[in-house]
Amino acid sequence: MFNYTKTYNRYGDIFEFIFSTSVNVGFDFDITDMSDLEDGFLDTNDELMMYPGNIDITIDDLSEGNYNRFKTLLDQYNAQYPYNFADVLTMTIKKNGSEIYVGILSTCEYEFEPPEISGEIKEFIKLRWLSGVSKLKELEFGNYYVLDKLYQVGLISRINVYKAGEHIGYMYGYDFAVIMPNSTLLFSEPIATRVNIYDLLYEIFKFINPQCFLSINHNWLYNDTHIFQELICYGIEPNITGRFFVKKESVYVVFAHDPGRWVRQQHSMVNGEEWSVWWDSDDNEGVPDRKLNEAVKFIARNFGAIAGMTSFNSAFFRKRFYINPAEAVDITDNAKNIRKETFLRKVSEVKINDLFPNPVYTAKRGETSQGKNLLEYSITLSAYDAGNSSGANLLIYVGNNQQYVLRVTDPNLPISDKLSEVLAELEWQTRKVSRDKFTFEIDTTDVNFTQYFKITHKGETKYIRPIKMQRYLLENKTQIEGVETN
């Protein structure tokens, strides 16, 4: 890799911009300006997944050579997975030696000011950079390369499919399939693959950057002593990924077993040949639209967490409902321009529907609301004792022995119960009163979404979980919007 480092000095701070590329492009420019950096949750109503923001930098371009160089590199990015961002071009920003941002190029914009305006020719390029995690919104499980990657790392099952002795495709989530002489596809009943949930989360983030790091900050206990990283999902296909048939586009196949249930997904070029992906829509309880970012949000909601990436290199999964006061950053003496406003109104009733058992189990809190002021959602990853353990599809292994997860304990609540009951209690304790949104400024840019903040005003202390940050890098200050939490 070739690294080109440019510096930008402002108000005593030294910013380093490190452009890493596998091509010796001979960059020759100076940094002339940079924008603010805004991070936040795209949907502040669910507050489940955080996306690092964009940043613009401006460079000079007296010969237009730099514009063409960046444009050429931008064109070398793969539009679809497998991505090659890290090999083609990334930009790292350091402030006084500390890394604050890593991104990939999004757009190039050329600006020209004729000499009639200021007496000299001015030519600039504005480069917009993305964090990369936004690409998770584009990635679907119904993608040839995504399914192949999940199979290669052992997170989904796959069998080969042949027609007249020729290998023509794969079945994901089934243990038998055959194509009859009349081209009819026959297949077995679906299977349920056991998958470690932490491993699945980690691999999803690694679709963006294979070198990223995933941190877990969640203290729920399962069957009294086991932690999140030990959880096994029994049935990754119906609950999260879905089941698929992948075939060469040129091969004619007739679907049996209710052909209307097979829905065409994406197509991909593989070694010069087109392949198509078909989703078995009988699996309709899993992730909406089978998007990878929705899978992260789906898991976060199921386990009372938030998730996201603080940079191209760093992902997190942490508890949503409780903070340790000792870990909160006290900004009482640093916060400026503090204001608060009503944000999340209180609810009258909470319903958490557990879709795994039959019949569906619903955990409830509050009074019957007749649909008004109701907080309701569904989960499919379950943990509770239904008399014969049929209510659980979460497992742990103790040595070589498999155990169903029958109860979840939140050390911060006096509750050890079904997972849906724990979620209902936490949602009720959080939403039975309105929650304010606080907006304030602090004189630092060294903040991120894994932190909580504490403000004491008129003898009352509030703990705040950030949902949006506007970092004014050149002025060394950050405006934070956050929701009060218990």
Q: Where in the chain do CATH 2.40.30 domains reside?
A: 322-345+434-485
- What is the C-alpha separation between 433 and 418, in angstroms, rounded? 24
**pLDDT confidence of residue 54:** 84
Report the pLDDT value the prediction gives residue 130, as an integer from 0 to 100: 86
For residue 69, the cross-strand partners are: none
In degrees rounded to 5, what are phi and psi of residue 18?
-110, 110
Q: Is the dihedral of CA 400, 405, 411, 412 positive or negative?
A: positive
As a whole number of angstroms, the distance between CA 470 and CA 40 comes to 9
Total-model pTM: 0.88
Q: What per-residue confidence (pLDDT) applies to 101?
A: 87
> Distance between CA atoms of 20 and 99, rounded to whole angstroms?
14
Each residue of 405-457: pLDDT tens digit?
A: 988 999 988 889 999 999 999 999 989 999 899 999 999 888 888 888 999 88
Strand 415-417: give its sheet, edge to edge: 221-222, 408-410, 415-417
The pLDDT, as a whole number, for residue 325 is 85
Task: Give the three-state DSSP class for 70.
Answer: helix
* Count of CB atoms situated within 10 Å of the CB of 333: 7
- Alpha-carbon distance of 180 to 301, in angstroms, equals 43
Series of mean pLDDT values for 10-residue runs along the chain (486 residues): 89 90 84 88 69 86 80 89 88 90 90 70 85 80 94 95 94 92 89 93 92 93 95 89 93 84 88 93 71 90 91 87 85 91 91 82 85 87 66 85 90 88 93 91 87 88 91 91 85
pLDDT for 121: 64
Pick left, alpha or beta for residue 139 (phi over 0 → left; psi -120 to 50 → alpha; otherwise beta).
Answer: beta
Output the pLDDT for position 204. Answer: 94
pLDDT tens-digit readout, 152-208:
999 999 999 999 999 999 999 999 998 999 999 988 888 889 999 999 999 999 998
pLDDT at 185: 92
Looking up tokens 């997170």 gives 155
**Token pair 């119960």 is at which residue?**
417
Query: For the domain bounded by 322-345+434-485, which CATH number is listed?
Result: 2.40.30
- Report the C-alpha gap between 353 and 376 in whole angstroms: 8
